[in-house]
Amino acid sequence: MSKTIRRSLVAATAAALLAVSACGGSDSSGDEAATTPETSATTPAAPETTDAPDAQQAELPVDQTIQDDVLGDTVKITGMVRDFQAPSRTNIPDGGGEWVLLELDTAAGDKFSGGIQGGFTLYQTDDELAGSTTGIIDDDMTAAGFTPWETASAGERTTGWVAFQVNTRADAYQLQYKRLAASVIGGGDPIPEKIWTIELPAS
């Protein structure tokens, strides 16, 4: 549109000069025609942003069971939370990691006195360690309605959530539960170490 307007103005000026010449005008002083500098309006480009959107906390169902027939222990994984929001430890997601919660339903056998004291570790699917259990966000979990898990002594059953600090977020994880090797007091065959691996839902 702007080019069409400029061409029309030039044509009109030329026509006016021809008309003056035809009428016998002899003014030789020839005032130079005033010209107006062209201007173009530009819209500032919106600044580019490279920050990825914050991950949203998501609760996922899980239905997996670990059965230790030697000790008589049962560990059920019944739920998972990805990207748990812990107000006291925002440095983890800010640095590219996340807090992962797993809901456990544990029942310790009464054959031996050890019970279920832990042994839960989170791995990435390429067998690289993702994180171990931690209690540093127990207050955040409690405030959000996720009761922290407590160990189960022999013959006891406990339920609750365990937290994992993951410094490098991955699409999917595996839970590994390790039964440590042990000797039986009073005689008997030693108990060998054993590791169970559970595939967890992807985000």
Provide the residue ranges of all domains of the chain, joining segments of one domain with +.
58-199
- pLDDT > 70 fraction of the chain, expressed in percent and rounded: 73
The answer regarding whether domain 58-199 maps to CATH 3.30.300.180 reads no
Residue 13 φ then ψ, to 5°: -65, -40
Tens digits of residue pLDDT in 47-85: 444 454 578 999 999 999 999 999 999 999 999 999 999
Given this model, what pLDDT does residue 121 score?
98
- Written as one letter, the residue type at 146 is F
Measured on CA atoms in the order 14, 17, 23, 26, is the torsion positive or negative?
negative
Given this model, what pLDDT does residue 185 score?
85
Give me the residues paired with residue 148 across strands. Answer: 161
Residue 90 φ then ψ, to 5°: -75, -10
The distance of Cα 132 from the centroid of its chain, to the nearest Å, equals 18
For residue 84, which of 95, 100, 68, 71 has the smallest C-alpha distance? 100
Q: Which residues of the chain have pLDDT under 70?
A: 1-53
pTM: 0.73
Q: Which residue has the tokens 């997601």?
A: 93
Given this model, what pLDDT does residue 26 score?
42
- Written as one letter, the residue type at 79 is G
State the Cα angle at 50 between 46 and 52, rounded to 5°: 125
